[in-house]
Structures are given as C-alpha cells and as structure tokens.
A = this chain, B = another copy of it.
Amino acid sequence: MVRALAAGRLLLVLIALFPSTSLAQTPAAVLPQDVRSTAATLQKEALAGTKAYDIVRSLTVEVGPRPAGSKAYDAAVEWGLRTLKSLGFSNVHAEKATVPHWVRGAESGEILAPYRQPVHLAALGGSIGTPEEGIEAEVVEVPSLDAVDKLDPAQVQGKIVFYDVHMERQKDGSGYGRAVPVRGAGASRAAKLGAVAVLIRSIGTDNNRTPHTGGMRYQEGVRQIPAAALSNPDADLLAAEIASGKPVTFRLKLGARALPEVETASVVGEIPGREKPEEIVLLGAHLDSWDLGTGAIDDGAGVAIMVEAARRIGQLPQKPRRTIRVVLYANEEFGLSGARAYVEAHKDELARHVMAGESDFGSGRVWRIASRVDPAKLPVVADLAKLLGVEQGKNDAGGGADLGPLAPAHVPVIALAQDGTYYFDYHHTANDTLDKINPKDLDQNVAAWAAVAYTVADMPGDLGRAPEGEGRE
C-alpha cells in the first residue's frame, strides 16, 4: 500500500515535470478489462505455438500451385472446405466466383547477340503468347515506365523494349508500389510506339535466377504484345550486353494463352457469435496462388494465420458476441474475382460487417496496426496497439486487395503491417515455398489477429463506419 502510494506520487511528479510526454497523454483504456484479458490470453497462448504452420504445410504439400481457373485451384477449394470442417468451423461452404483462366505454357528466352546466352524469364500473368517460333528483335532499354514515352517511335518500332527498373528493399514493402506500375502498364505503353514485345526486370529484391511473375493489363484499343519478366541476374546480364554498345538481339518464346473463364469458388467458414451472430468480423486471405511456387507466403501464410486465429477464438469457453467469418478468396491475383463476388452476394449484410482484415503479405512479424475506422473510435485501435505491443499507424489503411470492394459499404478495416523486408525476394516466384516461413513468426501473426478479432467481436461498442475512400495498401 505504501509502495503504491509512493508510485502514485511519483507518477504525479512525472506528469508535472513532463506534461507533453506520452505518459501524460496516454488516454485511459477504452476496452473493458474482461475483453482485454481474454484477448491477452489468446495472444499469449498463440505465441506458445499454434497449428498455423501445419495448415500452410498441408496446403502447400497437398495442393501446391493453385492459380485461378486451374484444376489445382478446385483442389484447393476442396482442401479449404475439408480443412475448415475438420477444424470445427460452422457454416462451412463454397461461394461461387467466376475467374479467368490464363495458362503459362512453355517459355524461354535467349540473348542472341552480341554474346549468346540463355536467360531465365517468366511471362507476366495475362500476357499473350508469341508465335511458336518466337519473336526475334533488337532490344531497346529504358530506365522507367515514363522514359518510354519520351522515345522516338522510330527507336522502338519493331523492337523489344526492356524496362530496367530496380525495386528497393523496405520493411514496409513500399518499394513494390514504386516499381510495380511497369509490370501492369509497360506492354501497352511500349506497344503504342510500335514495340513487338516487352521484357521487364523482375519486380523483386532478390538476386536469384527465379523470375517474378504477376498480373499485367492491356490497355483497350492498343495492340497486345507479349510481356515477360527476366530474373534479376538475367536483367543484369542483358543490361551488361547492352552496355557493350553493340546491338543486342533477343529471342522470346512464350506459350501463354487465355482459356475460357471458369466457375469456381471462395471458401467461407464461421465461428458464430453468441449474442449478435448477424454482426460480422471478417478475416480474409486468398486461396489462389501464382503458378510458379507452391504459394506458401502468397498466400498460404495468410490462409493459415486467419484460419488458425479464428479457430482459437472458437475454442474459447465462451464465444465472442459477434460472428467471426473467415473468407478464403478465389482469384485475388488475377482480378479479385472472389472479393467482388463476395460483395455482390453479401450486399445486404455489409452494413453489419463491423470489421474486415486481410493477411496477404507473407509471414513476417506484425510490427504496426493501422486502421480505417470512425475517427472517434481510434482509442480502441490505440488500445489494441498497446495490447499487441506494436506501433499505431494511420487511419487510412486499405487492409489488403480483397478488402477494396468492401470500401463503398464503409466496412471498418484493421490492418496489421508485417515485416516485409524479405517478402519480395520470393513473391510471385518458384521460390515461394514452405521453407520461407518461420513458424514462430507465423504464430506471432496468429496471436495478433486472434487478439484483434476477438476484441472487435466481443467489445461492447463497435468501430463505427469507415470514412470515404479505399485507403492505402
């Protein structure tokens, strides 16, 4: 008692001395003690070890690569239904989504002159193929997307444009946003000037001979030309041959083609709420992957994190007031088909979605919580930040690509930023495999999401409605 009084006096003295410190400004906790305490227990227990690694191992070993439209993706849907049922989820079901079906086919590339060397490349998702004999043309190099517009069409006509844009390594992955426009828009921008094909340096931070694929889009009314990414060492090689000053010629062969759209599905399962089951806390991840790797970090990790976080909440002696709904989206990578179908199918209940979160950035540790909630509710986010022991970010979070279509309904978003320092070494490559996941980091993600989802599902109030806009990625 004496010690407590002394500590109280000390606190007053400190506040008097440092009126502008965070100590003085910290608002009182807004979450009730019982909610905080259960959330903290969920967190602590998850940090001691979870099933998440087993879940992502099962998905990567038993299904593996599962691009939109493929038979393997259908196997992933079966896996999702089977897994959620066996883990005790309620209302497990598939929700229809129509997805594009693009296939890679055989592909190869070779620098023909001045120094003949084979290279490692991968067609960008959505690219058309080349004629069977390939395309042979001289290469013209540009350092950026905008630089291509400044070229004289005479320099580009009949040539292959090589975009040599380097992506920077950043913890928050922000180098991706700066580098990636060349992947989506590079082909049409070059085609306008008469180019016959496009090569890009991989949008990735590694120096492995594993090229990074990813979606691209053709601009309407512009001639479609094939587009592929060179691995970074191969981009270095092509740049070095160009630096020799001699004309560089290249042969590109892509077997890529689009097949008819496919009817497939997202997978949904729930932990029903005990008092307000009609109010939904949505935990999302995407079930599809690119075709090159086994989709461990993109997005097997997210699937495992969200399924395991919800499962652990479902194991509590008392379920939270609201429903936790896990949505494993179809085709995030290639047009958000599952996310759009979800919004259409659930439009009548979107107003009762009290929160949405997505895990789609690998398995790096959570280091920040951001949000897009009613600004009046930010003290709840501050409480969650303290609970998780992480920084509080801005209130403009997008939260994940699959959450974009929820934005017009003003569904509040919680985003847990993960350490993405190494994510783009492996993202969209053959190297996206199980060994890239650290099970302890995965558990830390489960702990954070379980604590957040439980809190928002059980707390007396809610997060209001999100402000206008989609927020930032």
Do residues B233 and A431 form an inter-chain contact, with CB atoms below 8 A? yes
Does A236 reach chain B (CB closer than 8 Å)? yes
**Nearest B residue (CB) for A208:** B208
With A233-B435, A237-B433, A435-B236 as given contacts, are A64 and B209 in contact (CB-CB < 8 Å)? Answer: no
Does A61 reach chain B (CB closer than 8 Å)? yes
Do residues A207 and B436 form an inter-chain contact, with CB atoms below 8 A? yes
Most chain B beta-carbon neighbours within 10 Å: one of A63, A65, A118, A431: A431
Chain A residues touching B, range: 20 to 34
With A209-B210, A240-B57, A294-B237 as given contacts, are A64 and B431 in contact (CB-CB < 8 Å)? Answer: no
Do residues B210 and A294 form an inter-chain contact, with CB atoms below 8 A? no
Does A149 reach chain B (CB closer than 8 Å)? no
Does A219 reach chain B (CB closer than 8 Å)? no
Does A241 reach chain B (CB closer than 8 Å)? yes
Most chain B beta-carbon neighbours within 10 Å: one of A115, A233, A294, A430: A233
Do residues B65 and A233 form an inter-chain contact, with CB atoms below 8 A? no
With A208-B208, A210-B209, A210-B210 as given contacts, are A117 and B434 in contact (CB-CB < 8 Å)? Answer: no
Q: What is the distance, in angstroms, from A237's C-beta to the closest C-beta of chain B?
A: 6
Q: What is the distance, in angstroms, from A425's C-beta to the closest C-beta of chain B?
A: 10
Do residues A208 and B117 form an inter-chain contact, with CB atoms below 8 A? no
**Nearest B residue (CB) for A206:** B208
**Nearest B residue (CB) for A106:** B106
Q: What is the distance, in angstroms, from A350's C-beta to the closest C-beta of chain B?
A: 37
Does A188 reach chain B (CB closer than 8 Å)? no
A-B contacts, 21 of them at CB < 8 A, read A60-B237, A61-B115, A61-B244, A63-B115, A64-B116, A64-B117, A65-B118, A120-B430, A207-B433, A207-B435, A208-B208, A209-B210, A209-B293, A209-B430, A209-B433, A210-B210, A233-B431, A233-B434, A236-B433, A236-B434, A240-B434
Interface residues of A (CB under 8 A from B): 57, 60-65, 115-118, 120, 207-210, 232-233, 236-237, 240-241, 244, 293-294, 429-431, 433-436
